[in-house]
Structure 1
Amino acid sequence: MPRRDAEPVPCLLELALLHPDPDDMAWLVPTSPQEVMTRLLRGVYDEVSASQGRVGSAVAAFERYTTLGEESPYAGSGAGAGAGTGGGTGLGEGTALRVLDGLARIQTAMDEATQACTTEVLTVQPGGIRREYELSEGLHRALELRGRGVRMRGLYNHVARHGQGLLNYLELVGGAAEARTLDEVVERLILFDRTVAFIPANAERTVALEIRQPALVEYLVTVFDRLWRLAVPLTAPLPDTGIEGISHRERSIAALLAEGHQDAVIAERLGISVRTCRAHIARLSETLGAASRTQLGVRIAQAGLDGPPAVAAPAGRAPLSLPAPAAPTRARPPESPTAR
Structure 2
Amino acid sequence: MSKKHTKPTHPHLVTELCDEGARLYASALTTGRVARAEVEPAPCLLEFALLHPDPDDPNWLRPVPPSSALAQRLHPIEREIQDRRRFSVELTDTFEPFMAISTQKPPTTHAITVLEGFDRIDAALDVAIAESQTEVLTVQPGGGRSEHNLSKALDRSKPLIDNGIRVRTLYQHTVRHSQRTFAYVERMAGTKMEIRTLEELIERLIICDEAVAFIPARDDRQVALELRHPGLVAYLTKVFEHLWARAVPLMEEVPYGPASHGISGVQRSIAKLLIEGHVDEAIARRLGMNVRTCRAHIAKLAAALGSGSRAQLGYLIAKSGILGETEDYSEGDTRD
Q: TM-score range by the shorter chain?
A: 0.5 to 0.7
- Partners in 2 of 1:163 and 1:294 — Cα distance? 34
Pick the aligned partner of 2:244 from 211, 221, 228: 228
In structure 2, the partner of 1:197 is 213
Who is 1:330 aligned against? none
Shift of residue 212 of structure 1? 1.0
Q: CA deviation at 1:258?
A: 1.5
Letter in 2 for 1:191: I
- The aligned amino acid for 2:144 is I
Residues 138, 168 of structure 2: 8 Å contact kept:
yes
In the other structure, the counterpart of 2:134 is 119
Instruction: Tell me how far apart the structure 1 counterparts of residues 145 and 171 of structure 2 sit (CA, whole Å).
Output: 9
Whether the aligned pair in 2 keeps the contact of 1:157 and 1:181 (CA below 8 Å) is yes
Report the equivalent of 1:132. Answer: 147
Give CA-to-partner distance per residue, 1:37-57, whole Å, 9 cap, x none: xxxxxxxxxxxxxxxxxxxxx
**Aligned AA for 1:227?**
L
2:135/2:167 contact within 8 Å kept: yes
Asked whether the equivalents of residues 116 and 224 of structure 2 are also in contact (C-alpha less than 8 Å), the reply is yes
| Greater radius of gyration (CA) | 2
Rounded Cα–Cα distance in structure 2 between residues aligned with 1:286 and 1:241: 21
Equivalent residue of 2:188, what SS?
helix
Q: What's 1:11 paired with?
A: none
8 A Cα contact 1:241 1:251, kept in partner: no
> 2:317 is matched by which residue type in structure 1?
I
Q: Which amino acid counterpart does residue 253 of structure 1 have in structure 2?
A: I
What amino acid sits opposite 1:137 in the alignment?
Answer: K
Q: CA–CA distance in 1 between the matches of 2:157 and 2:299? A: 41
Q: Which amino acid aligns with 2:252?
A: A
Query: In the alignment, is the contact (CA less than 8 A) between 2:261 and 2:304 conserved in 1?
Result: no
Among 148, 154, 169, the alignment partner of 2:163 is 148
State the partner residue of 2:121: 106
TM-score (norm 2): 0.62
Please give the alpha-carbon distance, in whole angstroms, between the structure 1 residues aligned to 2:198 and 2:324: 16
Structure-2 separation of matches of 1:277 and 1:204:
21
- Between stretches 240-249 and 139-148, larger displacement belongs to 240-249
Determine the structure 2 residue equivalent to 1:245.
262
Deviation at 1:136, TM superposition (A): 1.0
Structure 2 CA distance for aligned equivalents of residues 296 and 208 of structure 1 = 38
Determine the C-alpha separation between the residues in 1 that align with 2:313 and 2:265. 17
SS in structure 2 at match of 1:194: coil
State which of 288, 291, 303 in structure 2 corresponds to 1:271.
288
Match 1:172 to one of 164, 180, 187: 187
Matches within 5 A, 1:59-78: none
Over residues 208-262 of structure 1, what are the superposed CA-to-partner deviations in whole Å (9 max), with x where a residue is unaligned? Answer: 1111111110000000000111111112222234215211110101111121222
After TM superposition, the structure 1 = structure 2 runs for residues 1-340 of structure 1, keeping only pairs within 5 Å, are 94-174=109-189, 175-242=191-258, 243-306=260-323
Uncovered stretches (5+) of structure 1, i.e. residues with no partner: 1-83, 86-91, 309-340
Q: Which amino acid aligns with 1:240?
A: Y
Distance 1:294 1:244 in 2: 19
Asked if the contact 1:258/1:306 (under 8 Å) is kept, the reply is no
Q: Deviations over 1:152-202 (max 9, x none)?
A: 111112112111111111211123211111121131110111111111111
For residues 188 and 162 of structure 1, the distance between their equivalents in structure 2, rounded to whole angstroms, comes to 20
How many percent identity over aligned positions?
51
Counterparts of 1:298 and 1:208, CA distance in 2? 39
CA drift of 1:139 comes to: 0.6
**SS state at 1:99 partner:** strand
- Matched residues, number: 219
Q: Tell me how far 1:93 sits from its aligned partner.
A: 5.8
Q: Quote the Cα distance in structure 2 between the aligned partners of 1:270 and 1:195.
A: 29
Higher deviation after alignment, 102-111 or 290-299: 290-299
Alpha-carbon displacement from aligned partner over 1:248-303 (angstroms, at most 9, x marks no partner): 11010111112122212211111111111110011111122222223322321232
Matched letter for residue 135 of structure 2: E
The CA RMSD measured in Å over matched residues stands at 1.9
C-alpha separation between the residues in 2 aligned to 1:131 and 1:155?
16
User: 1:275 and 1:93, CA in 2 relative to 1: closer, same or farther beyond 3 A?
Assistant: farther
CA contact (8 A) 1:153 1:177 kept: yes
